[in-house]
Amino acid sequence: MPLSLTLLSTSVPLRMRPAAIGIWGGVSGLGVALGPIIGGAVVEGLSWQAIFWLNVPVGLICLPLIRYALPESHGRPERLDVLGVILAAGGIFTLTFGIVRGNDAGWTSGEILGALVAGVALLVAFIAWETRVTAPLLPLRLFRNRSFAAANVIGVVFSFGIFGAVFLLIQFLQLVQGASPLHAGVMTMPWTLAPLVVAPLTGFITPRTGTRPVLIAGLLLMALGLSWIAVLLDPAVEYHVLVPAFVAAGVGMGLVFAPLATATLHGVAAEDQATASGTNSTARELGIALGIAVLTAVFTGAGGELTPTGFTEPAVPAVLVGAVALVAAAVTAMVIPRDSGRAAPQGVAA
Residue 345 has pLDDT above 60, yes or no: no
Highest mean pLDDT range out of 21-25, 47-51, 63-67?
Answer: 63-67
Grade residue 172 by pLDDT with cuts at 50, 70 and 90: very high
What is the pLDDT at residue 76?
Answer: 65
What is the pLDDT at residue 149?
Answer: 93
pLDDT (tens digit per residue) in 179-202: 888 888 888 888 888 888 888 888
Residue 222 has pLDDT above 90, yes or no: yes
pTM over 0.95: no
Residue 90 has pLDDT above 70, yes or no: yes
What is the pLDDT at residue 3?
Answer: 65
pLDDT (tens digit per residue) in 100-149: 787 778 888 888 999 999 999 999 999 999 998 888 888 888 898 999 99
What is the pLDDT at residue 350?
Answer: 36
Query: Which of 287, 281, 267 shows the shortest CA–CA distance to 336?
Result: 267
Give how far Cα 109 sits from Cα of 93, 106, 297, Å. Answer: 18, 5, 15
Query: Which of 338, 143, 148, 146 shows the shortest CA–CA distance to 261?
Result: 148
Instruction: Map out the domains of the chain as residue ranges.
Output: 13-67+140-333, 81-136
pLDDT (tens digit per residue) in 308-343: 888 989 999 999 999 999 999 999 999 998 877 665
Name every residue whose Cβ is closer than 8 Å to that of residue 184 and which is 6 or more positions away in sequence: 36, 40, 170, 173, 174, 177
Residue 348 has pLDDT above 50, yes or no: no
Residue 346 has pLDDT above 50, yes or no: no
Torsion of CA 205, 211, 214, 217, to 10 degrees: -170
Distance, in Å, from the CA atom of 18 to the CA atom of 266, rounded to the nearest integer, reads: 11
Name every residue whose Cβ is closer than 8 Å to that of residue 5 and which is 6 or more positions away in sequence: 21, 24, 261, 264, 265, 277, 280, 281
Q: What is the mean pLDDT of residues 219-240?
A: 93
Residue 78 has pLDDT above 90, yes or no: no
What count of other Cβ atoms lies within 10 Å of the Cβ of residue 130?
19
Give how far Cα 306 sits from Cα of 111, 282, 309, 312, Å. Answer: 24, 30, 8, 9
Grade residue 349 by pLDDT with cuts at 50, 70 and 90: very low
CATH number for the 13-67+140-333 domain, one of 3.40.50.300, 1.20.1250.20, 2.60.40.10, 3.90.1150.10? Answer: 1.20.1250.20
Residue 161 has pLDDT above 50, yes or no: yes
What is the pLDDT at residue 116?
Answer: 92
